[in-house]
Amino acid sequence: MLKSFLDRLNGQSPTAPDPTDERTAVAALLVNAARVDQDYTDTEKGLIEAILAHRYEMAPADAEALRLEGEEAEAAAVDNFRFGQVIRDSLPEPDRVPVVEALWSVVLSDETRDAQENEIVRRVVKILDIEPRESVLARQRVEAAMKG
């Protein structure tokens, strides 16, 4: 109860998503990648939910709730650094590469790729401390999966 009171005093909602949670951080990055082109579609929302459901082995309703948490965290964030840092600190490198694949899936889902989307992925790759070549390979795997 005291913590809740202190959180409200500090302007924090007790039900606000925890941006230090790896799941929320991944959801927020995916949402950011979808929103960067100013066209956040239902298709992208569904894809994000499918990615989260698969990655975290959760029911569709739980994946939707996590996406909504990611939307809230992303909207409140100044930039992606904090989310990337949480993921980098929470996961070993081999487990961070699928996050990059997920980002590429969202970016490529509308079949267009603009400079802002490329920049988002590039920055996240750098924050996650992943070699740029791994990002290229991740993108190629996603493109191949989309064709097949």
- Up-side HSE of residue 137: CA atoms within 13 Å toward CB? 7
Rounded to two decimals, the pTM is 0.85
Structurally, the chain folds into a number of domains equal to 1
The CATH number assigned to the domain holding 43 equals: 1.10.3680.10
CA 9 to the chain's CA centroid: 29
- Enclosing domain of residue 131: 19-147
Q: Give me the mean pLDDT over the 133-140 stretch.
A: 96
Measured distance CA(133)–CA(115) in Å, rounded? 18
Euclidean distance between CA atoms 148 and 135, whole angstroms: 20
Tell me the percentage of the chain whose pLDDT exceeds 90: 76
In a domain, 11, yes or no: no
Residue 113 lies in a domain: yes
Check the CA dihedral 123-137-116-77 and report its sign.
Answer: negative
Residue 12: inside a domain: no
Q: What is the pLDDT of residues 34-52, one digit of tens each?
A: 999 888 999 999 999 999 9
Nearest Cα neighbor of 99 from 48, 43, 144 is 48
Kindly state whether residue 127 falls inside one of the protein's structural domains. Answer: yes
